[in-house]
Chain A
Amino acid sequence: MAHDAQHYNLDQKFEFKASTKKSIMTVLVIGAILLGIGILMAMFGGHHEEGAEAGEHAFHWYERLYANLWINNVYFTGISIIGVFFFAIQYAAQAGWSAPIVRVMLSLGNWLPYAAVLMIATFFLANHDLFHWTHSYLFDKASPEYDKIIDGKGAFFYWPMAKGTFPAFFIARMVLFFGFWVFFFNKLKSLSYAEDTLGGSTSWYKIRSMSAYFIIFFAVSSSISAWDWVMSIDTHWFSTLFGWYVFASWFVAGLSAMTLITIFLKGQGYLEMVNENHIHDLGKFVFGFTIFWTYLWFSQFLLIYYANIPEESVYFIERLSSDVYGPFIFVNIGMNFVLPFLVLMTRDAKRHGVFLKLVCTMIIAGHWVDFFLMVQPGTLGHNGGIGFMEIGMFLVYGSAATMVILGGLAKGNLIPKNHPMLEESYHHHI
């Protein structure tokens, strides 16, 4: 019984077939076409007068494009970093069950460098259209539009520069977070792949301590990035659990992504040693963190609703009483809580790929809606909504990220063949 895992082909590599690439590219092209139609509709649509009549600043079609870029930047960055985070958790917790799929988790991080470039570029392209606090008149005491509250928060964005000039602190945080995330991802990846040639347990110990450092860094950076990239859109408003709420949203989406990739690889005939027990564990994580997300979403909502302090409840009034966003609040709860909760409740549903595939796909779409509801009301107001542009941009980002992630996965061994706990994972039985 000693070396059962050796019966499996541990040297197999994921071959990124041309047919798979072709279907991903097809989705990308469909997305690009939808995006193009959406842009054309927005350019020639009759939204300009509406905004002007209401006495607001005129609405430009490209604002909606920027908002879409931002939603997907934040969302796919999250899925990507969650892959690295969950990989680190496996090592820090000394988990044995997940040994054959740790590289699937880690592969999500391949999107991070692209996400970093896109995020920083989008910020410089769209700052005034996305972030209210980037307007310098808000900090000018002589200006009629001087805003005392935002002036009070100004240093968080602009330090050490003068408020209203260059958001040095904000940019520094963005660069620092992406820099460290990419650094940790590369470090963990090279350590993990070095294990294939070195053997022994030294790599495992190194990965474990590196994982612990990463988790400490991520604990702080995930919260702050949520304030910076998402919460600062609604500059006046704040919520103390916003960082965890965004993290939970990322986490469920990331877990769903790695579950989908695992099931896809199994369907292609890879990962022979992954059986329904491992799938069951992934399913339990998806199920459990679906409820965790709901808990945070509802905690944020209930306290604001119950206390009814105007500066807090404006956030939900903007969403719930809006014709554009109101229905999506319920779509959000339905897709991310009610349906996954009911479908994944039984043991059989978590052990069979069909249900998990369905639910994970729904969750990935559902949490995109969650980020849509976080970003669009504050940036576009009543000019937002889910149309061709939103669906197209989501498909373009999703297929590009899938392309990069699967491409990265194809580069090395699929299973860490010298992982010290491979044997334990083989006997995993629940």
Chain B
Amino acid sequence: MERDTHFVLGVYDDEDVLLHAVEEVRASGVKIDEVYSPYPVHGLEHVLGYKRSRLPIAAFLFGMLGTSLALTMQFYMMRFDWPMIIGGKDYAAFPDFIPVTFEMTVLLAAFGMVGVFMISSNLKPWAQPRIFDVRSTDDKHIMAIDIANNSAMDLAKIEAILKSSGATEVNKKSFD
């Protein structure tokens, strides 16, 4: 995937200003690439128009996988592979299997969800994160706008929109 390299950055001081700015900027037709903030801003994903995450579906499927794996494993081991009588119960004593089944369900749901999240957010160990502005880890909110995505709009106009929405600075950033 070719990654775009030229961005316009709006820098915001205040989260309330930022929330209104995101609404204004999107209303004026500019497509926002991403907003970086030092802490989670409540309602930001809502004004950015992000769809709800489908991660719960992955969690459910991995959980079901865990349930079936655990039951199959125990049933095979206890009934066919090495049948053993424990506590005078049947070989395949279903209630005995429940704790292990529960643990496997939780384990696979959690691992599966973390794995899917990492893959879908491109969080691999050798990933090179793009630093738009180091101050987004301190006290500034950074709105990144991809110039190639907004080719229909004049660059000066985008900058004007950002300024009027309350950005304290408007910068440009290019990556190699």
A-to-B contact residues, CB < 8 Å: 298, 301-302, 305-308, 345-347, 429
Q: Which B residues are in CB contact (< 8 Å) with A347?
A: 52, 56
Q: Which A residues are in CB contact (< 8 Å) with B98?
A: 298, 302
Interface bracket on B: 10 to 19
B-to-A contact residues, CB < 8 Å: 42-43, 52, 56, 60, 87-89, 95-96, 98-99
Q: Which B residues are in CB contact (< 8 Å) with A306?
A: 87, 89, 95-96
**Contact present for A305 and B43 (CB under 8 Å):** no
Other than A301-B95, A302-B96, A306-B95, give 17 A-B pairs with Cβ distance below 8 A: A298-B98, A302-B95, A302-B98, A302-B99, A305-B95, A306-B87, A306-B89, A306-B96, A307-B87, A308-B87, A308-B88, A345-B60, A346-B56, A347-B52, A347-B56, A429-B42, A429-B43
Q: Which residue of A lies closest to B88 (CB)?
A: A308
- Rounded to whole angstroms, the CA-CA distance of A393 and B146 in the bound complex is 69
- Rounded to whole angstroms, the CA-CA distance of A308 and B56 in the bound complex is 39
CB distance from B78 to the nearest CB of A (A): 14
Q: Report the number of A-B residue pairs with Cβ-Cβ less than 8 Å.
A: 20
Interface of chain A, helix or strand or loop or mixed?
A: helix
CB distance from A260 to the nearest CB of B (A): 26
Q: 8 A-B contacts, Cβ less than 8 Å apart?
A: A302-B95, A302-B99, A306-B87, A306-B89, A307-B87, A308-B87, A345-B60, A346-B56
Q: Which residue of B lies closest to A1 (CB)?
A: B16
- Rounded to whole angstroms, the CA-CA distance of A346 and B88 in the bound complex is 40
Q: Which A residues are in CB contact (< 8 Å) with B56?
A: 346-347
Q: Which residue of B lies closest to A306 (CB)?
A: B87
Q: Which B residues are in CB contact (< 8 Å) with A301?
A: 95
CB distance from B42 to the nearest CB of A (A): 8
Q: Which B residues are in CB contact (< 8 Å) with A302?
A: 95-96, 98-99
- Rounded to whole angstroms, the CA-CA distance of A346 and B55 in the bound complex is 12
Q: Which B residues are in CB contact (< 8 Å) with A308?
A: 87-88
CB distance from B109 to the nearest CB of A (A): 12
Q: Which B residues are in CB contact (< 8 Å) with A346?
A: 56
Q: Which B residues are in CB contact (< 8 Å) with A307?
A: 87
CB distance from B94 to the nearest CB of A (A): 10
CB distance from A319 to the nearest CB of B (A): 14
- Rounded to whole angstroms, the CA-CA distance of A346 and B43 in the bound complex is 21
CB distance from A113 to the nearest CB of B (A): 42
Q: Which residue of A lies closest to B46 (CB)?
A: A429
- Rounded to whole angstroms, the CA-CA distance of A305 and B56 in the bound complex is 34
CB distance from B33 to the nearest CB of A (A): 25
- Rounded to whole angstroms, the CA-CA distance of A159 and B65 in the bound complex is 56
Q: Which B residues are in CB contact (< 8 Å) with A429?
A: 42-43
Q: Which residue of A lies closest to B86 (CB)?
A: A306
Q: Which residue of B lies closest to A345 (CB)?
A: B60
- Rounded to whole angstroms, the CA-CA distance of A346 and B56 in the bound complex is 8
Q: Which A residues are in CB contact (< 8 Å) with B43?
A: 429
CB distance from B84 to the nearest CB of A (A): 15
Q: Which A residues are in CB contact (< 8 Å) with B52?
A: 347
The 9 closest A-B pairs by CB, nearest first: A305-B95, A302-B95, A306-B87, A308-B87, A308-B88, A298-B98, A302-B98, A306-B96, A301-B95
- Rounded to whole angstroms, the CA-CA distance of A308 and B99 in the bound complex is 18
- Rounded to whole angstroms, the CA-CA distance of A345 and B43 in the bound complex is 24
Q: Which A residues are in CB contact (< 8 Å) with B88?
A: 308
CB distance from A1 to the nearest CB of B (A): 10
- Rounded to whole angstroms, the CA-CA distance of A345 and B60 in the bound complex is 9
CB distance from A375 to the nearest CB of B (A): 24
- Rounded to whole angstroms, the CA-CA distance of A347 and B60 in the bound complex is 13
- Rounded to whole angstroms, the CA-CA distance of A240 and B96 in the bound complex is 20
- Rounded to whole angstroms, the CA-CA distance of A298 and B56 in the bound complex is 26
